[in-house]
Chains A and B, each alone.
Chain A
Amino acid sequence: MPGRKKHKLGRVFLYLFAWLTSLFILYPYIVMFLGSLKDLQTMYRIPGTLLPEVWHWENYVNIWKDIPLLTYFKNSFIVAVFGTALCIVCAVPGAYALARMNFPGKKTLMSLIVMTQMFSPVVLMVGIYRAMSNFGLANSLVGIVLLVAAFNQAFAVWLLSGTFATISKELEEAARIDGCNKLSAMIRIILPLAAPGIVTAMTFVFIAGWNEYTLALILIGDSSLKTINLGIRAFFGYTGTEWWYVFAASILATLPILGFFRILERHLTGGLTAGGVKG
């Protein structure tokens, strides 16, 4: 905003607000980080301790040996990556049809699709399990991938159809004159232009897949198929919570996503405002 130099007071407020929010957000992570370096006794000192009495850096080495963390990571990645891919692959043509084609019942269909966003897996738990075992997909990552794709479909379609609607029709028509059919016109002309929306949609579905917990909770039984969230939940045991495990695993689970976000930062929500707003 021009004229900002005049506002010295404004600058101070700006810094203060930024720092206060950041500190508040960081606080649980500091606690988690310090906690992950404590031993169990220090963790439960009363009153609580701020710093570890002995810094157990080896916790980060031991955790890989004590629990199958790598398997958990792998499973979470499979769910997030394939869930995202499937979701987008199904959503793109659907969104394109809704944005560009005219057919009877279009408006109703769009609202129906968007309505499905309101169903949360928690609410449908028992129904989901029943449906999935009818398909023979209980206790498999494939089942979770399909569900992640399905439960994020509404959002992706909504966002992408908004994005497609903002792309000028003429470009596409020009391509068609050049001999492209609808499909290749979409792939060559529309998709690259819709990239901001696609990236945003992908990020969202990816996060939803990575954070997925309730579906895995009811569907996954095999310990070799557990996702990271299930793994972490298991530390809340019968005889007590193994907090340092929880914290170390949590930090390790958060870092890759944070890195991924940093790379994509600019595009995380770009697509939402670029196109989705008209939905």
Chain B
Amino acid sequence: MTDPLFTRRRFLRTVILGGAVAPTVPSFINSTFAALDGTAASAFSPVTGKDDTILVVMQLAGGNDGLNTVVPYADDAYFKARPGLAIPAGRVRRLDDYCGLHPSLENLSALLDGGEAAIVQGVGYPNPNRSHFRSTEIWHTASDADKNEAFGWLGRYCDAACSGEDPGAPIAIGDQTPQALHSKSGRAIAIGAPQDYKFQEGMEPSPVEPDDDADAPAGGSIDMLFGSAGKEADVADFLQRTALDAVASSAQVQDILHRGHDGARYPASDLGRRLKLIARLIGGGMTSRVYYVSLGGFDTHSNQAGAHERQLAAFDQAVGAFCSDLKQQGNYDRVLLLTFSEFGRRVAQNGSGGTDHGAAAPLFLFGGGVRGGLHGKHPSLTKLDRGDLVHHTDFRSVYATILDQWLRTPSATVLGRNFGSVPVLRAA
């Protein structure tokens, strides 16, 4: 019997090294075939997630209530605005004499003590949008609030870093690829349930055969296929490339899952399972440098107290397990976890025991490379914009810092202009 993995490898090598599919080279195969084949790997040695820095991005979807996450327990205005929702000063995990963490954030608190977590306060952008969807787009594409951008900031990073040697296709854990990962050079891969991430026998899409290229323009580029080639070519090409990405990446993922072993104990939550998978892929030598994961349930318009506490606890426990797993693997120093939410929530509670959509909020960074502690001042609770906190740090200056100092790609190329930096990373 033929080893299916061997067949796949031989197919990939034949197809890619044979140069048979120039216009429809799937982005994933293009970037990772070298890693699939040991001998080929020595000939090409791209900078990949196998040995270089890795970024994991997590969205707390729905608009996390920053004020009840990093709590200004010493501010009377906080208790006045939230008579039914304020966390009493006695329950807060104190960070300084003004603010402290929600009591659920036990692991985060320990990571902060150890200098392994950073909190950037008062993050947002000018003219904040209070729609989940629009504000998520703004965070994902790093665009100005009044502009629309098709590709995500991490997708554009991949496009910029791709020229020459590719860092490996970004991976979304879940069934959706977020806009943050959309790029000109093709979509990211998505992995829902890893055990199902393989083709049943006989159901693999067939490789592109030479016939397909008969009427393709000679020397055509992937840009052209997305640009002027028209819709018809786009959708067929898109399906074809995704199919081949799926063939190649599922082979690699199954390979890692068979070799890998379980590290730290994770909570039995969705987020726990997802972070565990990411740790396993990193530990198994996956070539991707960017991972994306999301935790929902933060849109707390009503009866917020209990629901928010549960979500923060789920977040805290999963992140705690992820960090200790990476430490055990010895990969902690080259993995950076960034968490954000599309907006914070209004300072004053509403009439349903909840809070409505707001603006500025804190974001978090975790990992061995982080310069720990609180960065920036807590925004004022009295100088508000239509009832919302006013940001002092543009989220794109955090992105710029990560691009320049962590992924080492000029941020202005990716973000379109210079946003400065925030001192959240230790000098490399």
Q: Do A and B bind? A: no
